[in-house]
Each structure stands twice: as structure tokens, then as C-alpha cells.
Structure 1
Amino acid sequence: MQFQSIVILTGAGISAESGVDTFRDVGGIWSKVRLEDVATPEGFARHPAMVHDFYNQRRAGLAGLHPNPAHLALARLEREFRGRFTLVTQNIDDLHERAGSRQVVHMHGELTRALCAHCGTRAAAPAALSTELACRQCGQVQGMRPDVVWFGEMPYHMDLIYDRLAAADLFVSIGTSGAVYPAAGFVEDARANGSRTLELNLEPSAGTRLFSEARHGPASRLVPDFVDEILARR
């Protein structure tokens, strides 16, 4: 079967093999810090310097990391697939872009971007954000924050994502826990629209039973094999 429109969803599992910390696994980020302190608007209001320090450390940590074969394979799929290709990621790192992907839908924002809480202006983030940094647009200080979606906030680009899911004939979830909504519900949306659905994950996710097919193992092996299969159908 040849596919005309593919939607890919990636989660923490695809970047874990590059050394990016996961959130929910044993020993993951949420076992070390309280999400209420560093991943909510209320936490930022209480302790902005602590929140900036948390994200500055994560931003600095990205510098020494590199895309892995799974990122590179998806960039190849975007270049060579003849139909419509949509790459949606829950990750806030830039490894897809560094692998060569050009149109990445970051539903949870980007660690390398900053957002003004006063006027909504977005800009490239400096190496270190701080409470002293003023917005270049409105001039307000103490308002520049990481441009990431925190708990209690609406993910980005949802209208676009649902439009692409409605038109897709293949939906693939890669390296996701299947426990975080709304992304965990994408497989059900895709199925309702008649899509074939495939899970590629290190181990069965919370929603494995909802997929037409599931393959389990390292993303760096599964994703290149999957891309080879799709491109061989041309």
C-alpha cells in the first residue's frame, strides 16, 4: 500500500538515545524536580530565577548532543516522500532541525526560543535567560520566559495538527509514553478518520492496544527500517 499523507508524532524516546533526559521514566526529570516548581506559570511567578536556571541548564546541555539515526531517517523521509508529510513533536529540543527536518511542528514549544509574557513577542533565546532581560518589542523586564508549553497551558498548533490528522492515511507515534494528552489521543483521532496507525517505541506504551501495529525496540533501529519501507513503495 502506498500512502499519500503521513503524520509522525515524536516524543522523548526518540531523543533519549541522543542523551536528552526523559521526563516520566525512572530517573527522569520529574523524579528530580517538582514539575509544579519549574513547569507551570505559577512556579515561574513564584521563583522565576529558579525556573530560568532549570531551562538554562537544559539549553546548555543540548550543545553537546547530536541527532541520532532516528532523527536523520525522518529528515530523509521529509525530503524524499512524494506525498504530504507532517512531523509533530512533543520535544522541545532542536535535534530534528539539526538532523535536517525543515518543517517541524513543535506542539510543546522550543527550548531555543523565548516568549514575552507581557506582549507575546517570540524571539531566539540567548544562552541564558534571566529576570533582568527586557523584551525588545515592549521593553518590559521580568517577563521573558522560555517559549515552552507548561502544565495548564494549551499546546501550540492544535488546529493544524488536527487538520493533518483528518487527512492522513498513516499515523505513526515514535517514542511516546501514550500518557500525556492531547497527544495521547491522536491515535484515536487518526483511527476515527480511517488512518492506519503504527507505534514505534522502546516498549509498549499506555496506548499500544489502540494501534493497528506496534513494533518495539530502539528508535535508532526501528525508525530507519520504517523509513526504508515507506520509500521502497514509491
Structure 2
Amino acid sequence: MRLPYLVCATVTAAALFAAPGCTRVVTGSPTLAAGTPASNNTECESVSAPMTAIESHTDGEPQLKIPQPPGWQRTSMLDSQIIRFTMGNKALTARNFMPTVVVTLESVPGGHVDYQTIFDQERAALVQRLGATHVRSSETTLCGDKAETVNYDAPGMGRIPPRKVRTLMVTATFSANTYVATVTVQSTDPTNPSYARDTDLILTGFQMLPPEGG
């Protein structure tokens, strides 16, 4: 199981991506979507931003969808088996750092995984490995599934300045696998009204739905 320390790796990779000159834009048009029924008959929350579908790697994976507010551009330089989607907003750059959003997906075989243990391990790793401070977490749900939002301060790394980070972690079980998706947003100017509004839309409207046909 590779899940422990996943958020740490994501924050570090996203910070490097946000450095000047490290963006490769992928063009694509988001699609509008209203509230979507989830696997447990709980309707996902609708938000006032276009929804973009994130490509699955296998047929059995959950469907991921993310709000893409105006000004946020999809990039592909971090795409991997774990990192599934990245976007940034150059117009909101502050202190030579572009705000970023990174989505990851990881699976754990078996349908009886202790979700809270996963969340606890990830929060502990933020402090021990990343050096995060002022870590604050709150329990929530997303499309009826168990989730947790974590706010923290990430330290500077070379040319990368200290920044404020928010991570949404959500878990759900489909067939014989438990999936953990994370959405991480970070900025050096988190009080910017446009950034704050967009961040709330993205984290509130993110969806992890059952696999197509499943």
C-alpha cells in the first residue's frame, strides 16, 4: 500500500510545477454538469463552475470530475499513474508562485480499509516529512462518502516560497477496491478573493463517482 505520504509527494510536486517556466498547457473544454447521483443515492453538490471529467486509467476506476473555473488551465507535465489532473492560474500568481490544483487517485485492494487510519497517517506525514505547520483538519462528506479537509502551511523549498495549502481527501469502495482521491490547492496569496472563491468551488464540487457501468 503506497498511500502513506501520498499528500506530501503531491504538495512537493505541485510546488515545483508552479515555479516560473514549468507549465505545459493542455487545451480542452470543460462541460457543464448539475448535481450527479452518487453510488449511495446521495446527490453530489452542484457548483457554479463548469465540470471537467478526469480520464480514468482502467475500466474499474471511479469517475472523477472537477470544477474548472475560468482562468484555470489544465496542464499535463505531472500526469502519472497517481497524479491524474493538474491545473494552474497564472493570473493569480503572487510572489513568483502560480496557484495550483492537483488531483491524485490511489487504490487499496480490499473493501474493508480503515479510512480514518489513512487520513491520520497522511496528516502525520505532512508534519514529519513535509514540515507542515498549523495543521487543521475537519471531517466532511463528498457525494455521501467519507472525506476530510486539511489546511496547513507548507515551508519554503529553495526558490519555492512558503505557502498556504488545502487538501481534500475522500475515500470510497467500488467492487473489491478502496479508492482514495485527493485534491490539493496551494497559493502564496490565499486571501485573494478570486482564489478563495475558486478554491471553495473546486473542493466543494469535486466528484468521485462509481465506475461507468458499475
Shorter-chain TM range is: under 0.3
Larger radius of gyration: 1
* TM-score after normalising by structure 1: 0.24
Q: Which has the higher strand share?
A: 2
The TM-score, its normalising length taken from structure 2, stands at: 0.26
